[in-house]
Amino acid sequence: MPHPTLPLPHAMTTSASSSDDSLVLYGQRFDSRLLLGTSRYPSPAVLEAAVQRARPAMVTASLRRQGSNAAETGASFWELLRKLNVPVLPNTAGCMTVQEAVTTAQMAREVFETPWIKLELIGDDYTLQPDTLNLVEAASILIKDGFQVLPYTTEDLVLCQRLVDVGCQAVMPWAAPIGTGRGPVNPYAMQTLRERLKVPLIVDAGLGRPSHACQVMEWGYDAVLLNTAVALSEDPVAMAGAFADAVNAGHAAHRAGAMAEQSAAQPSTPVLGTPFWHHG
């Protein structure tokens, strides 16, 4: 069976005259700073409506979970991906060894016809924490094989630096374990990571509320990737819109520059023109 023709990540890039404020990943420009997962939605129709409302830069899809051909999953999923007309970012979800992740990525490149890959190498099947000991090796192999790798990682600064050292032009640290919705559990580490690394950083996993997305964008993160927070909300379509708005607001606030915090109250109204009181 021929592979489906799906939109590539460059399909939604902006023109050369676009604002310099665009999200840039591996030299490609995107109009949105929100990425959406495609699993756990109540129905394909709800997923489609959520994507239309959020207008994400990319949608993620798992080869292992969706299967490598339409016969395994039904042609409807592939048809939906085509209908969305949004660049697809394949991932290696569920992989727990370097070889497994590399093989899955290579298969995904053939199926989805794209060199882009969200690299997931899981070290703990309870928290779904990345395998911090072997992630750099897997990323290095894929980079050398021509992939444009977006690695899912923890907020560990040294690990993220090593990923950049082997050629990753963007890194995807978690805010909290996948699916918890707790928001940033280690703000200090995440802010330190943003201050030290000069590549695009996409918060991947752990965000549960639009305010969480706004917060990390205010810190200077470049984008967020969401799935559970939207798919399992009471109204996924409305929530997709709320997150899209929050991402934009947080990014605009970061560019505007927030006032410095003060240790004491400061009057917001000047006292010019205050009348003098005469005491008898």
Please report, in range form, the residues annotated as the binding site for 1-deoxy-D-xylulose 5-phosphate: 179, 205-206, 227-228
In eight-state DSSP terms, residue 171 is B
Return all residues near 38 (Cβ < 8 A) that are at least 6 apart.
47, 59, 60, 61, 81, 227
Q: Pairing relation of β-strands 116-119 and 148-153?
A: parallel
Residue located via tokens 């590399």: 102
Binding site members: 179, 205-206, 227-228
Distance of alpha carbon 85 from alpha carbon 146, whole angstroms = 24
Distance of alpha carbon 212 from alpha carbon 4, whole angstroms = 36
Do 196 and 165 touch, CB atoms closer than 8 A? no
Q: b/e for 227-248, b at 16 or more Cβ within 10 A? A: bbbbbebeebbebbbbbbebbb
Do 244 and 54 touch, CB atoms closer than 8 A? yes
End-to-end CA distance of the chain: 99
Distance of alpha carbon 156 from alpha carbon 201, whole angstroms = 13
Active site residue 118: yes
Do 59 and 33 touch, CB atoms closer than 8 A? no
Distance of alpha carbon 117 from alpha carbon 166, whole angstroms = 15
Tokens standing for residue 113: 């016809």
Query: What is the set of active-site residues?
Result: 118
